[in-house]
């Protein structure tokens, strides 16, 4: 029996005044659900050599306030097995799903073996979740001969189907790297499919939005197929926000309330470790994971600590203000952390997962230079500091994984951004959107590519993701494009492939 069809039964515990309680009596075997409480799926994330995070959220009626679960804690059992049918359970336990966190659970399973697949499932109220696959990282001191990744971002629900996630699920990679715009707070134009929920402002609005997005079977399948690491960008809160600044000049104290509930809903719906749980309206999202001696992946937050975009009205800017030395993308604390962590990394490959385009990219067309104010091109001093950090040690084989622009770009990052004769410091692979629309024509992207010699490919006309196979001597990246984003079952194809050889930054087609 996968799940009971009975309605939620309250079992004698008084619910009066429950909204005021901060600790909840846990209810386990005596709870039953009218519908599948695992309708929003299951997920895993942030793999370590001996540990991984497991996630689910109880929501038998995901589009109802409270998800259809009464406002008390509900006991959830979890099991991790060595085989797909969980015949051999190697770790198990129970955890309380609390209403304050939308009955989500984030289980940090430890004591696992390195570099191997595990399977997991949850049970609550007599209902059992599907079985998910996850994978631990290789151990320190070992050089894995292969690591497979998918890089994804920008998945506007209304602007397209998730055929890209269908392909990611089939790839069953070692880790999915998501670099932002997991939800969109607003409605879409050029709709392929529709939800009738309005722009998000309240905690309930954001929870509903995640419920809508996570109702998609291909997104659920991609989560169930392997672990993820993520950073949010702007649309998880509000388009183009910067730290405590709303682009609509909402008073910061008002905007910070909206940001706090948006951060909370993000945590509630994703397989983040408890260390990345928001508190007091802030969320420490940046972190790293080592994959043995082969790779280290650094996930950066270029949104929560940044200076406001320069020279409004953006998006395209060219004013002197962008060059101010004090302008920051990561904030001082994160810059220091990255300098220390990158400096200490002994990995053969060092991957930076982050939101916006890093490499120099003049988007003026024929005129004098003009830059996308929201990307690193609007924060050139911050980019210089990041490049200096990479050059300092120097960091072995840095590769930047970016998103945001709804286009595939393959870029060289030069030591001096404006000087294409200066040494290449890093390769940047920018993934296109999973489904979000691109307003600009391919002719526009062709024009930008022509005036930026450090840009090897620029395709704004394709949706999709990056599929990366990493080996000690080489990174192989495939740009996977969706044939038809209006179809959930669309095939995908490899649009182009690039290699980066160990010890020589810059791509080979």
Q: How far is the CB of 235 from Fe ion (least distance, A)?
A: 6
Using only C-alpha atoms, the chain has a radius of gyration, in whole angstroms, of 22
- Report the C-alpha gap between 378 and 313 in whole angstroms: 13
CA distances from residue 485 to 46, 166, 465, 468, 500 in whole angstroms, order as listed:
29, 12, 12, 22, 29
Q: What is the DSSP string of 228-260?
A: EEE---STTTSTT-BTTB-TT---HHHHHHHHH
Q: Which residue's CB is nearer to Fe ion, number 178 or number 269? A: 178
Binding site for Fe ion (CB under 5 A): 154, 181, 436
Q: How far is the CB of 406 from Fe ion (least distance, A)?
A: 6
CA atoms 165, 405, 377, 328: torsion sign: negative
| Residue carrying structure tokens 């951004």 | 417
Q: Which residue's CB is nearer to Fe ion, number 154 or number 322? A: 154
Q: Which residues pair with 411 in a beta bridge?
A: 428, 455
Q: Which residue's CB is nearer to Fe ion, number 79 or number 181? A: 181
Helix (H) or strand (E) holding 167: helix 163-171
Q: How far is the CB of 2 from Fe ion (least distance, A)?
A: 36
Q: Which residue's CB is nearer to Fe ion, number 56 or number 356? A: 356
**Any residues with CB less than 8 A from the CB of 264 and at least 6 apart, and which?**
101, 203, 206, 278
Q: Which residue's CB is nearer to Fe ion, number 72 or number 436? A: 436
Q: How far is the CB of 180 from Fe ion (least distance, A)?
A: 7
Helix (H, G, I), strand (E, B) or coil at 43: strand
Q: How far is the CB of 132 from Fe ion (least distance, A)?
A: 27
Pairing between strand 52-57 and 117-124? unpaired
* Burial category of 384 from C-beta neighbours within 10 Å (exposed 0-12, middle 13-18, buried 19 and up): middle
Phi, psi of 242 (to 5 degrees): -140, 110
Q: How far is the CB of 181 from Fe ion (least distance, A)?
A: 4
Q: Which residue's CB is nearer to Fe ion, number 181 or number 412? A: 181
Q: How far is the CB of 405 from Fe ion (least distance, A)?
A: 8
Q: What is the DSSP string of 466-480?
A: EEEEEETTEEEEEEE
Q: How far is the CB of 403 from Fe ion (least distance, A)?
A: 7
Q: How far is the CB of 44 from Fe ion (least distance, A)?
A: 25
Q: Which residues pair with 455 in a beta bridge?
A: 411
Q: Are 115 and 139 in contact (CB under 8 A)?
A: yes
Strands (E), 82-217: 89-97, 104-109, 117-124, 127-128, 132-135, 147-152, 175-178
Of 414, 462, 415, 463, residue with least CA distance to 435: 463
Q: How far is the CB of 302 from Fe ion (least distance, A)?
A: 14
- Report the C-alpha gap between 207 and 212 in whole angstroms: 9
Q: How far is the CB of 353 from Fe ion (least distance, A)?
A: 15
Q: Which residue's CB is nearer to Fe ion, number 154 or number 177? A: 154
Q: Which residue's CB is nearer to Fe ion, number 160 or number 278? A: 160
* Burial category of 424 from C-beta neighbours within 10 Å (exposed 0-12, middle 13-18, buried 19 and up): middle
Q: Which residue's CB is nearer to Fe ion, number 104 or number 436? A: 436
Q: Which residue's CB is nearer to Fe ion, number 389 or number 436? A: 436
How many C-beta atoms surround the C-beta of residue 251 within 10 A?
9
Q: Which residue's CB is nearer to Fe ion, number 80 or number 466? A: 466
How many C-beta atoms surround the C-beta of residue 441 within 10 A?
11
């Amino acid at each position: 029996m996968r799940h009971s069809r009975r309605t939620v039964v309250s079992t004698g515990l008084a619910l009066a005044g429950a909204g005021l309680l901060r600790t909840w009596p846990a209810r386990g075997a005596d709870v039953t659900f009218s519908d599948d409480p695992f309708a929003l799926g299951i997920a895993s994330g942030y793999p370590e050599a001996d540990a991984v995070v497991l996630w689910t959220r109880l929501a038998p009626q995901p589009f109802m306030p409270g998800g259809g679960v009464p406002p008390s804690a509900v006991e959830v059992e979890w099991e991790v097995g060595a085989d797909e049918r969980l015949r051999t359970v190697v770790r198990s336990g129970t955890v309380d799903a609390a209403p304050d966190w939308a009955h989500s659970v984030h289980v940090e399973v430890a004591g696992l073996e390195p570099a191997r697949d595990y399977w997991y499932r949850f049970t609550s109220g007599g209902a059992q979740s599907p079985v998910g696959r996850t994978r631990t990282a290789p151990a320190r001191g070992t050089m894995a001969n292969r690591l497979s990744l998918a890089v994804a971002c920008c998945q506007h629900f209304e602007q397209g189907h998730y055929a890209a996630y269908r392909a990611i699920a089939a790839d069953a990679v070692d880790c999915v790297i998501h670099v932002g715009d997991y939800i969109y707070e607003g409605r879409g134009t050029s709709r392929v499919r529709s939800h009738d929920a309005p722009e998000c402002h309240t905690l309930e609005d954001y929870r509903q939005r995640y419920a809508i997005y996570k109702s998609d079977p291909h997104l659920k399948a991609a989560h169930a197929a392997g672990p993820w690491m993520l950073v949010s960008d702007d649309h998880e809160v509000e388009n183009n926000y910067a730290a405590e600044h709303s682009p609509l000049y909402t008073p910061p104290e008002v905007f910070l309330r909206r940001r706090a509930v948006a951060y909370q809903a993000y945590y509630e719906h994703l397989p983040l470790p408890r260390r990345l749980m928001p508190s007091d309206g802030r969320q420490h999202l940046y972190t790293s994971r080592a994959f043995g001696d082969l790779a280290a992946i650094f996930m950066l937050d270029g949104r929560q600590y940044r200076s406001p975009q320069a020279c409004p009205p953006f998006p395209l800017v060219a004013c002197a203000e962008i060059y101010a030395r004090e302008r920051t993308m990561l904030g001082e604390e994160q810059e220091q952390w990255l300098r220390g962590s990158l400096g200490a990394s002994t990995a053969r490959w060092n991957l930076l997962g982050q939101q916006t385009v890093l490499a120099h990219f003049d988007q003026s067309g024929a005129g004098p230079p003009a830059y996308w104010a929201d990307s690193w091109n609007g924060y050139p001093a911050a980019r210089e500091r990041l490049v200096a950090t990479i050059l300092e040690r120097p960091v072995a084989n840095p590769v930047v994984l970016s998103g945001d622009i709804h286009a595939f770009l393959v870029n060289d990052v030069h030591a001096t951004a404006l000087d294409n004769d200066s040494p290449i410091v890093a390769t940047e692979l920018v993934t296109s959107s999973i489904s979000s629309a691109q307003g600009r024509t391919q002719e526009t992207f062709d024009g930008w590519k022509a005036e930026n010699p450090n840009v090897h490919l620029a395709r704004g006309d394709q949706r999709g993701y990056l599929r990366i196979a990493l080996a000690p001597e080489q990174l192989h990246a495939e740009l996977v494009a969706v044939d038809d984003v209006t179809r959930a079952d669309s095939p995908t194809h490899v649009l182009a492939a690039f290699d980066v050889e160990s010890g020589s930054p810059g791509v080979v087609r």
